[in-house]
Amino acid sequence: MIAAQFGVALAQGAKVALLDIDPQGSLTAWGRLRAAASKAAPGVEVLAISGWRLANELEKLKASHDYVLVDTPPVIDSDARRAIRGADLVLVPLNPAPPDLWAAEGTLKLAAEERRPAALLFNRAPAASRLRKRLEAEITARRLTLLPVALANRAGYANAFADGLGVTEAGPATQAAQELHEAVRSLLALLDGTAAR
């Protein structure tokens, strides 16, 4: 769902490819809904590619699109490794809870092995909690990057996704859309910073 939301927001003025390599296929299902959605803005292409063709197709997409977002499986497999190897930035969404941070370890380790910058994004986050503050402190102490904008637990994201839309299309004036735009700006600033290194 994160790739779809970010992809739609980025497509406002850019050409975006969303690549689904997760065997669950939820991004591909969303793409089918999107093809039939009358409110869907142009500029977002959804594809499902896996296996040995992935690295080559990823390079082609990067050459023909402004942004390519890859939805990977939550487990580390050879496709996830190929996607990380070709990434400019690895974004790891997680709920602000210790088990999610522990589960992110494999992806963060793989990104480090492939020498790819990585960032964490709090998803379904409460506005403020002691646990969230504790995780933020742990992330800072470990010198990991956390996007400064978290996505709250809002029904707008799921409702838009169920209609084949991004929240910025389904409810452009909502808090969810504003929050997402802020998260995208943070992501782009981070990408600019990694490109400058």
**pLDDT for position 62:** 93
Spell out the domains of the chain, with CATH numbers in brackets.
2-190 (3.40.50.300)
**pLDDT for position 5:** 97
Give yes or no for residue 50 having a pLDDT over 90. Answer: no
Tokens, residue 23: 């065997």
Give yes or no for residue 43 having a pLDDT over 80. Answer: yes
**pLDDT for position 150:** 94
Is residue 151 within 8 A of residue 180, CB to CB? The reply is: yes
**pLDDT for position 40:** 84
Give pTM, 2 decimals.
0.92
**pLDDT for position 193:** 77
| pLDDT tens string 141-189 | 999 999 999 999 999 999 999 999 999 999 999 999 999 999 999 999 9
**pLDDT for position 42:** 87
> Which range, 44-53, 122-131, 159-168, has the best average confidence (pLDDT)?
159-168
